Amino acid sequence: MLYAVQESSALVAVRVATGTVLWQRYVSSNESGFFTSIVIIDGAIYITDDSGTLYSLNAANGNSNWTYPAGASQLSTPVGANGIVYVTDDRGILHAITAAGGKRLWTHQTVSSGEIGPALHKGRLYVSTGLAVQALDAKTGSTVWSYTSPTTGAFVSTPAVADGLVFVGSTNDNLYAIRA
């Protein structure tokens, strides 16, 4: 299946082999439409709109599982694992939401980040928080460690994690590799 968002804010599922439209759902009533990429985790589609709402839909039929209003105007692309979905809002609040019911588990305040979302790897979340990068316990939201830039550059990208390192870009034109 291929999932796409139309300009009309409709989410569409297409069978790739035939081009047949399997279903189409108007998910958001917001005129400006969707903000983030489509993310599929464990049979559910997650997407946000410009009103700060996170949507969960059944990937097979497009039926709504739940909606989560974050109370902000902009959300990052969601990430998730182990029954929890994470999204950062434009006020810098990281939200942990149950995948089963869309209920908030916890929040963690960082700095305003908008589309800069968290990275999830081996039970930890990695977030850019302006002049620092933080590692958080994915279950509780508690800070595991924090790395502060030795320069005045701000961390302005979603971290990437590989080979025991956290990679993040900075406004001082540096790419940092920090031990995870």
Alpha-carbon distance of 171 to 155, in angstroms, equals 7
Q: What is the pLDDT of residue 89?
A: 87
Record the pTM: 0.89
One-letter amino acid identity for 127? Answer: V
CATH architecture of 30-117: Beta Barrel (2.40)
Q: What is the pLDDT of residue 31?
A: 62
Q: What is the pLDDT of residue 34?
A: 64
Q: What is the pLDDT of residue 72?
A: 77
Q: If the chain, 180 residues long, is cut into consecutive pieces of 10 residues, what is the mean pLDDT of each piece?
A: 84 95 84 75 91 92 94 84 92 93 93 74 91 93 91 86 95 91
Q: What is the pLDDT of residue 23?
A: 96
If one counts every other C-beta atom within 10 angstroms of the C-beta of residue 151, the result is: 11
Q: What is the pLDDT of residue 69?
A: 92
CATH: 2.40.10.480, 3.40.50.300, 2.130.10.10, 1.10.580.10. Which one for 121-180?
2.40.10.480
Minimal CA–CA distance to 116: which of 150, 153, 79?
79
Alpha-carbon distance of 63 to 38, in angstroms, equals 15
Q: What is the pLDDT of residue 132?
A: 87
**Domain ranges across the chain:** 30-117, 121-180
Dihedral (Cα; 43, 3, 25, 39), 10-degree rounding: 50
Alpha-carbon distance of 97 to 104, in angstroms, equals 4
